[in-house]
Structures are given as C-alpha cells and as structure tokens.
Structure 1
C-alpha cells in the first residue's frame, strides 16, 4: 500500500489529504479541547487559535489556556449536563 501511495498520482493525493486532516487536527487541538472540556472562554481560545495559532507561542498559549480553565476533571461519560447561561 505504501508503494501505491508513493508511486501513483492518486495515492499521493490520498496521502496529502490524510496529512492535511492530521495537521488540521493538531492545529485545532486547543480549540477542540476547549469545546470538549467546556471552558468558559472557549470562544476566545478558538479565536486565538484560529488567527494566531500559526505562531508557535500563540498555539502553546491557547493550549495552556484551554487546559488551565477546563471545567471537567476528566473525559468520563458521567459528566453532569451543563446549561449555557443564555438558556437559564
């Protein structure tokens, strides 16, 4: 399979698409963690990550901010449901 990916045009395109998806996931990791862990400042973290995440310092700052302000202690399934402030 590796030979097919490196020797054919279609395989190379598939390899590029897979690499793009993986790199996009790593780039958006602080945003994904902020949303999954219900951070109160998740919009600000997302904006910092999307617009300045290409700089390594801003990406590290967004990741640290997301982990430091997380509401959940773990990723367990037994987390109680939270109501958003505008739904009260």
Structure 2
C-alpha cells in the first residue's frame, strides 16, 4: 500500500488532492464555525477569511471572531425548548 501511495504517479495525485482538500477545510474553518454557531456576522467573517485568511493573523482573527460571536446556546437547546413549549401548552384538566 505504501509503495503505491509514495511510489506511483497515481498515489502522488491522490496525496496531492487529499492535501488540498484538508488545506481547504482548515482554511474554511472560521466560516464553517460561524455558520454552525449561527453567528450574526457570518458575511463579515466569510469576507475576512477570504480576503485576509491567507495571512496567519487574518485567519486567526476570523477564527476568534467566529467563536466569539456565536449564539450562546448548545446545539440541542433549540430542540429541548420546542419539546418543553409543546409539553407546557397542553392544559391539564
């Protein structure tokens, strides 16, 4: 397996594509965090990451902004609130 991966042109192309995909995922991490946390500054974080993310300082600034500006709720709190609201809306007679 290692011979194919390191010793053939196909293995080299596979490593190259895998490396590019991992690099893009790391580069887009601030944008993905802003989206998943529901940040109201999603567009600004995205623009900062696209325009200045290639600098280390710009990427770190976008990452910190994304983590600091998210809604302060857990992922499952919305579902719990909906269940509790439904549970309390029924009258008890």
Q: How is 1:1-88 mapped onto 2 (pairs within 5 angstroms)?
A: 1-74=1-74, 76=75, 78-80=76-78
Instruction: Say which one has the larger Rg.
Output: 2
TM-score calculated relative to the size of structure 1: 0.83
TM (norm. structure 2) is 0.79
Determine if contact 1:49/1:62 at 8 Å carries over to the other structure.
Answer: yes
Structure 2 stretches lacking a partner, 5+ long? 80-93
Q: Kindly indicate which of the two structures has a greater share of residues assigned to helix.
A: 2
Paired positions, count: 79
Q: How large is the Cα RMSD of the aligned pairs? A: 1.4
Structure 1: 4+ residue segments shifted above 3 A: none
